[in-house]
Amino acid sequence: MPYAITKRCIQCDKCLPQCPKDAIKVIDGDYWIDPSLCNDCEGYMTPQCVISCPVNSPVPYQAKKGRCKVDANLIATQKLFTDGKGHPFASAIVIWELCNVLAQRQSLPWEVDADGELYYQRQINGGKGAIAFRVTDSNNSEATSVLKGAKALSAIEAFDIRSACMHLIYAAHATNLDHPWEEEFTINDRQIEDYLGLDKRKDLNKTTKLALIKELAQQPCQLIASIDLPAKGKIPGVYLEKSRLWHLLDIQHHFQEDDLGCKHLVGLTFTIKAGQWAEYFLNRQGCKERTAFYQYGTLPKALLNVVMSIWQQHEGAARMMLWLLFKTKIGREQRITIPTLMRVAYGERKLSQVSGHPENRQRLLRIFESDLEVLNYHGLKPIFDPVTYPLEIQPLWAKLVDIPEDADAALDFWIDDGSNGTRLTDAAPRGKWNRLMNARILYFEVPPEWKKQLAKSKKKQRTTSRKTKFKPQINLSVEYILEARKRLGLSQRDLARLTGKSQSWIRDIENGRFEAKLEDQMLLRKALGMANG
């Protein structure tokens, strides 16, 4: 049981150096024992603060009961997610990579430089630039010390994937400021609870939540980055050496006293400022003058809640979800190879370790397919490439998506499946792992709240709609052509004969290698029995 300091304390300072866990803190001149650090001096006969105190001030800690009063000091800056769905956030490469570092941690290929400092480096801009991250021993000072060796590895292993969500919250707050590299913002524990969904966690008491929030808030501020990006047009090059991405300027602790004078922590307020990177990548005025970038996307609140709920059972899915937040911003037609997704989810080292062991490959394959199912359940639907990722090697859950909900229709479905030469529940074909290493996902369908709803894009949509108002919508998707042909029982050769095209042309259309011209789409519609328009 942890201990607490009562109002009998005379501030003699004798207990402070005796605490083996450094749990005794001096905040605003008052002494307080952090219950999340105090372990009752495990290994000692008697708690050291009790032995050293001349007035018997420390007593066993009793958790505060009842509701906490709202302190005026807890009021922070502008609230995020006012519509309950999404908010703009900084999405530059430096933000993406820091998110990956916090999510993947020791899975990344960390290296040691000539000074013995541990760093992770990634080539950017087609190899023309680079960004490197290092871990520090503090979260604010510019004259910081970079961790080396075992200390650096220990700090990296201690990173919590949930701190990536806190990093994204900071990136959203930064977009509310005109000059984020000069201005600061504040955020309190009540807001963080709401953003991360911790307010719904009735299994956690107030002290536990505050300890978790404090830890998550500090971790993104422990990393510094060196950025080397060449000039692009009028925009000058970016050269930052060991620059902090987030400055944690201050942590305010808000207490309440009980009848014994024991101080109970009831709130936290954090003051944050973006690093110098924001002047290059989140500069509105500079973007208008074409001397800097203003790169942003939409941060869905639902993503934060999902990551906070699945991070233990499906860490791979949480990693992929965070990575896809930035990947999908690039555009829909971004084909993703399965090895790339696996490296994101489980790390390069693990993927290399299992490649030569069939049993481990099967286990990782089951985990990967389960993680894909989690993504699909939460609205990130993978669209498999029919050529490299055909139905026979797709996950079972993907094959069962089209089962009718009606009982009679479902019975007919299974009877039909059982009469075929191959069945949905058949074991995976031999060589599935090797085929997956060459497979890809065409894109992920994303939930509506992931898409940017900006005035600029709406204006563009209105302009497009005016141009195409009188033009019939006859574009056919690859999936629609394939489904219609199979429904009519036609082979590719049959469809080629009906349209006057070659079989290879039909195959290329169905594989998505190119899109049919308008006149050819009319031929396809006629052959497949579809109405034009």
CA–CA separation, 3 vs 239, rounded Å? Answer: 49
Is 67 contained in some domain?
no
Q: Which residues pair with 224 in a beta bridge?
A: 134, 244
Show the tokens assigned to 460.
């563009």
CA–CA separation, 314 vs 321, rounded Å? Answer: 11
Range of the domain at 438: 312-401+432-454
Is 410 contained in some domain?
no
CA–CA separation, 393 vs 401, rounded Å? Answer: 15
Same domain for 392 and 344:
yes
Helix axes 503-510, 492-499, angle to 10 degrees: 110
User: Domain end: 311, 341, 375, which one?
Assistant: 311
CA–CA separation, 114 vs 132, rounded Å? Answer: 14
Nearest in space to 93 (alpha carbons), one of 171, 146, 161: 171
User: pLDDT at position 492, please?
Assistant: 84
| Cβ neighbours around 92 below 10 Å, total | 21
User: pLDDT at position 472, please?
Assistant: 45
Q: Could you report the per-residue pLDDT of 211-238, keeping only the tens digit for each?
A: 999 999 999 999 999 999 988 888 888 8
Is 113 contained in some domain?
yes
Same domain for 245 and 377:
no
User: pLDDT at position 25, please?
Assistant: 86
Most confident of 31-35, 40-44, 380-384: 380-384
Is 406 contained in some domain?
no
Per-residue exposure over 208-225, b if at least 16 CB sit within 10 Å of its own CB, e if not:
ebbbbbbbbbbbbbbbbb
Q: Could you report the per-residue pLDDT of 65-99, keeping only the tens digit for each?
A: 655 555 545 555 678 898 888 999 999 999 999 99
Nearest in space to 90 (alpha carbons), one of 274, 332, 222: 274
Q: HSE-up of 315 (CA within 13 Å, CB side)?
A: 15
Is 63 contained in some domain?
no
Which DSSP letter does residue 135 get? Answer: E
| C-alpha to C-alpha distances, 118 to 109, 142, 146, 163, 229, nearest whole angstrom | 10, 18, 8, 20, 21
Q: Could you report the per-residue pLDDT of 409-457, keeping only the tens digit for each?
A: 777 777 776 676 666 666 677 888 999 999 999 889 888 877 654 334 3
Same domain for 325 and 307:
no
pLDDT(470) > 50: no
Which DSSP letter does residue 332 get? Answer: S
Q: What is the chain's percent helix, strand, coil content, to nearest 5?
A: 40, 20, 40
Average pLDDT over residues 110-136: 90
The structure tokens 């908010």 sit at 87
User: Residues 250, 231: contact at Cβ < 8 Å?
Assistant: no
Is 218 contained in some domain?
yes
Same domain for 274 and 239:
yes
User: At a CB cut-off of 8 Å and minimum separation 6, what does 237 contact?
Assistant: 228, 229, 230, 231
Same domain for 196 and 119:
yes
Please give the backbone phi and psi of residue 125, each rounded to the nearest 5 degrees, phi first.
Answer: 60, 45
Same domain for 303 and 445:
no
CATH, residue 486: 1.10.260.40
Same domain for 180 and 242:
yes
User: pLDDT at position 360, please?
Assistant: 86
User: pLDDT at position 283, please?
Assistant: 93
Show the tokens assigned to 207.
């002290």
Same domain for 116 and 14:
no
User: pLDDT at position 427, please?
Assistant: 65
User: pLDDT at position 462, please?
Assistant: 47
Same domain for 376 and 274:
no
CA–CA separation, 504 vs 209, rounded Å? Answer: 61
CA–CA separation, 43 vs 200, rounded Å? Answer: 36
Which DSSP letter does residue 231 get? Answer: -
Lowest-pLDDT choice from 119-133, 205-219, 447-461: 447-461
Number of domains in the chain: 4
Is 33 contained in some domain?
yes
Same domain for 227 and 116:
yes
Same domain for 221 and 95:
yes
pLDDT band at residue 473 using 50, 70 and 90 as cut-offs = very low
Nearest in space to 170 (alpha carbons), one of 87, 252, 84: 87
User: Residues 149, 179: contact at Cβ < 8 Å?
Assistant: no
Same domain for 290 and 321:
no
Our measurement of the distance from residue 415's CA atom to the centroid of its chain's CA atoms, rounded to an integer in Å, reads: 42
| C-alpha to C-alpha distances, 159 to 28, 221, 493, nearest whole angstrom | 29, 11, 56
Nearest in space to 47 (alpha carbons), one of 31, 35, 59, 34: 59
User: pLDDT at position 464, please?
Assistant: 43
User: Residues 146, 158: contact at Cβ < 8 Å?
Assistant: no
- Alpha helices, DSSP H, located in 331-454: 338-346, 348-354, 358-377, 396-399, 407-418, 432-436
